[in-house]
Amino acid sequence: MPHPLNADLHCHSTVSDGTLSPEALAERAKVRGVELWALTDHDEIGGQERAAAAAHALALPYLTGVEISVSFAGKTVHIVGLGFDPRNDMLRHGLEQTRGGRGQRAREMADQLARAGIVGAYEGALKYVGNPELISRTHFARYLVEAGVCADTNEVFRRFLTEGKPGFVPHRWASLHDAVQWIVGAGGMAVIAHPARYGFTPNEEYALFLEFKGHGGQGVEVVTGSHTAAEAQTYAAMAREFGLLASRGSDFHSPTESRLDLGALDPLPEGLTPVWEALADRVLH
């Protein structure tokens, strides 16, 4: 049997809501045995040059990456892009637009938290922000832990910042069509991130997969830090049903917060074609 490649094609740096720099992540990926790596910051490709240079210095094969926030059927869906040209103008402009509403949203989140008795959350979250254009719920979660409101960030997302809880501000992200277009138009491959996380009904999920394919999307994350082993089997079956390529990524954010470390993923289930087979000519060596 051929050696299954230890690919890890999903993680975050200080350029979005991770706690490690692109360079520290490259180093960690290498040490943990990753053989093909991609940094996929939220709505932002400002870390791509640094990640690619650090990977090159470590002889770690690299694919460009991003994770785009999309609004679909009243929920937020994440679309990962891999192997695109980071200089592409449409992609850069689209991501800039998508990032645009985050500052105002953060102020509204802080106002809601203040009404729930938690003051100073905006300033508190800002202390954790590495990129002023990318203030996210994760930064608020870290501040709420620091302030002693919750014991860890998982508890924050159970009690705050999610639908129906204090600090949740609905937001209009990119459309599925636009996100896939930006990625594909820049020569990359679009991949549905962690599908088990969305809580869609079977009909909504079917619509997501069908529309995604219709727009030119080609892959789905099957093995991720957000999926159980059973969920990996469920989405392996979906990949086969929809003729999608399969991806694998830890979604690593931080040594203390993430369930799974870089490279510590199960192999893809049998009978799937990995995304990296179709991306071989986009890999940077």
In this chain, which of 6, 48, 98, 136 binds ligand AMP, going by CB under 6 A? 136
List all residues 6 or more positions away from 177 whose beta carbon is below 8 Å from its beta carbon. 211, 215
Question: Mapped to the 3 state alphabet, what secondary structure does 184-217 carry?
Answer: HHCCCEEEECCHHHCCCCHHHHHHHHHHHHHCCC
The contact mask relative to ligand AMP for 66-105 (x = CB under 6 A, - = no) is ---x------------------------------------
- CB of 154 vs ligand AMP, minimal distance in Å: 5
Q: Which of 130-138, 202-210, 223-231, 270-278 is the region at the interface with ligand AMP (rule: CB under 6 A)?
A: 130-138
Q: Is 137 in the site for Mn ion (CB under 5 A)?
A: no
* Contact call for residues 217 and 238 (beta carbons, < 8 A): no
153 binds, among Mn ion, ligand AMP, none (CB under 5 to 8 A by kind): ligand AMP
* Distance (Å, whole) CA 144 – CA 269: 38
Q: Which of 49-57, 79-87, 133-141, 242-250 is the region at the interface with ligand AMP (rule: CB under 6 A)?
A: 133-141
Neighbours of 42 (CB within 10 A): 22
Question: Half-sphere exposure (CA, 13 Å, Cβ side) for 82?
Answer: 37
In this chain, which of 157, 168, 198, 242 binds ligand AMP, going by CB under 6 A? 157
Q: Is 248 in the site for Mn ion (CB under 5 A)?
A: no
* Distance (Å, whole) CA 197 – CA 136: 18
In this chain, which of 10, 30, 137, 142 binds ligand AMP, going by CB under 6 A? 137
CA proximity to 251, closest of 199, 213, 194: 194
| Residue numbers 35-94 binding Mn ion by CB under 5 A | 67, 78
Contact set with ligand AMP (CB under 6 A): 17, 42, 69, 136-138, 153-154, 157, 253
